[in-house]
């Protein structure tokens, strides 16, 4: 792929402006999930090992171009320092004299954290003047925030074009995993797409059927595809007005030689709550007063058979209402099958999206997947076949 990594740049004695995603959840002023902070450690360590000075650029929450004290990155200094095992120097601005002074005063091995880039109105408008002010602070630009790469912002796109640029370790791992999954994958390729609504994933489905050999559709969106085939789904969540769209995606898949897999049996219940009485029925036998809340065991077996014959798996979205037992059974079983095949070296497995990560963690399968993306919107836009501005900028 045509982008530089940290291994391609001479960083000795250089100030390295490093775009990261540390937009972490907070509770009572304390970071409640350190995942995103911990994930930047390899990039920070690599830059320091190569003799560079790390200057972190990041956004936090949505201040919409105004200074909002509650959204200051200063609140993250202690958490960053603890994770990195280094002193973190905070600058109360991301440009100008305040930032320059903090950078100049930082000692060897110390990390500089600049203030929330979104405090500047020009950040989200990709203002070239703001990018130039940022560029004046450093010698090299590194983007380690794939999760923000779908945004053409000053710190993710314009800045990358003003300095020698490279992908950080996390960005590099993400791009290599995605290239392996859809760019030049080992075939056959199977994609699992679940979730509630077809309407939110039309572009995703339309792109995938041209790229993969098998498409497994689960969750509420599977009900819409069933309705499109004339199958009654009772009180189930279904976008009946999207039936023709579902049929069009099916036609596109047939033209492209992609097999679409829908449930053949389902788990139904009359109440959507933990411990609700449920039954497995054939897909054409959903009672009118019940709703489909999960895929059934025959469907899971057929999905596992598709996995067993595949070389590459891309997963986005659960197969059922996994948040509530027993409607997590299909997702758990399929996830464990994919994890086992990956562990055995038979499958390259890449997954992403908020619900997906939660579902795979719940199933105890996430650690065995080849790669789990925490990027959310950027991961989805990549699956839709869209160009990501933050990645395109690294390619010059």
- Catalytic position from the list 13, 109, 275, 354: 354
Of 125, 138, 90, nearest to 111 by C-alpha is 90
Three-state SS annotation for 251-298: HHHHHHCCEEECCCEEEEECCCCCCCCEEEEECCCCCCCCEEEEECHH
Q: What is the pLDDT of residues 56-84, one digit of tens each?
A: 999 999 999 999 999 999 999 999 999 99
Handedness of CA 361, 363, 369, 375 (dihedral sign): negative
Is position 377 annotated as part of the catalytic site? yes
Identify the CA nearest to 58 among candidates 116, 132, 138, 139. Answer: 116
Query: Which residue out of 161, 197, 311, 386 is catalytically annotated?
Result: 197
Q: What is the pLDDT of residue 1?
A: 59
Q: For the chain, which ranges sit under pLDDT 70?
A: 1, 396
* Beta carbons of 209 and 255 less than 8 angstroms apart: no
334, two tokens? 């399929």
pLDDT at residue 385 in the model: 87
Catalytic site residue 353?
Answer: no
pLDDT of res. 396: 62
Asked if 384 and 207 touch (Cβ cutoff 8 Å), the reply is: yes
197 is catalytic: yes
Do 36 and 374 form a contact (C-beta atoms < 8 A)? Answer: yes
- Catalytic annotation present for 354: yes
The phi and psi torsions of 331 (rounded to 5 degrees) equal: -60, -45
Peptide bond into 188 cis (omega under 30): yes
Q: Look at strands 140-143 and 312-316 and give their pairing.
A: unpaired
Could you tell me the two tokens for 94?
């991301």
In the set 14, 19, 36, 211, the catalytic residue is 36
Full-model pTM: 0.87
Residue among 65, 74, 377, 385 flagged as catalytic:
377
The residue written with tokens 């409640």 in the block is 32
Distance CA 140, CA 51 (A): 12
């Amino acid at each position: 792929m045509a982008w530089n990594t940290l291994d391609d740049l001479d960083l000795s004695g250089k100030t390295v402006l490093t775009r990261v995603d540390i937009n972490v959840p907070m509770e009572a002023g304390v970071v409640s999930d350190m995942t995103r902070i911990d994930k930047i450690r390899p990039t920070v360590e690599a830059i320091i090992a190569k003799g560079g000075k790390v200057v972190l650029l990041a956004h936090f929450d949505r201040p919409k171009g105004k200074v909002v004290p509650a959204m200051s990155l200063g609140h993250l200094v202690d958490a960053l320092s603890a994770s990195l095992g280094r002193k973190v120097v905070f600058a109360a601005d991301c440009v100008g004299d305040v930032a320059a002074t903090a950078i100049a005063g930082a000692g060897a091995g110390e990390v500089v954290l600049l203030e929330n880039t979104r405090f500047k109105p020009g950040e989200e408008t990709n203002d070239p003047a703001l990018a130039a002010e940022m560029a004046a602070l450093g010698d090299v630009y590194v983007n380690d925030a794939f999760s923000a790469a779908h945004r053409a912002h000053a710190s993710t796109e314009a800045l990358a074009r003003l300095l020698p640029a490279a992908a950080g370790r996390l960005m590099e791992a993400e791009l290599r995993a995605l290239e392996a999954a859809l760019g030049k994958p080992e075939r056959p390729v199977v994609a699992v797409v679940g979730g509630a609504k077809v309407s939110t994933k039309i572009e995703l489905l339309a792109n995938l059927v041209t790229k993969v050999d098998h498409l497994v559709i689960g969750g509420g969106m599977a009900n819409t595809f069933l309705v499109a085939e004339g199958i009654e789904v009772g009180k189930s969540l279904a976008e009946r007005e999207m039936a023709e769209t579902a049929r069009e995606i099916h036609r596109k898949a047939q033209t492209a030689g992609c097999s679409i897999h829908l449930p053949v049996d389902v788990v139904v219940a009359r109440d959507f709550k933990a411990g609700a009485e449920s039954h497995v029925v054939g897909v054409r036998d959903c009672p009118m007063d019940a709703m489909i809340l999960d895929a059934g065991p025959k469907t899971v077996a057929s999905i596992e058979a598709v996995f067993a014959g595949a070389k590459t798996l891309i997963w986005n979205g659960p197969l059922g209402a996994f948040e509530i037992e027993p409607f997590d059974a299909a997702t758990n079983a399929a996830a464990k099958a994919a994890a086992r095949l990956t562990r055995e070296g038979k499958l390259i497995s890449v997954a992403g999206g908020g619900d997906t990560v939660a579902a795979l963690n719940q199933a105890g399968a996430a650690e065995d997947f080849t790669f789990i993306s925490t990027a959310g919107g950027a991961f989805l836009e990549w699956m839709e076949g869209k160009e990501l501005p933050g990645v395109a900028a690294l390619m010059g």
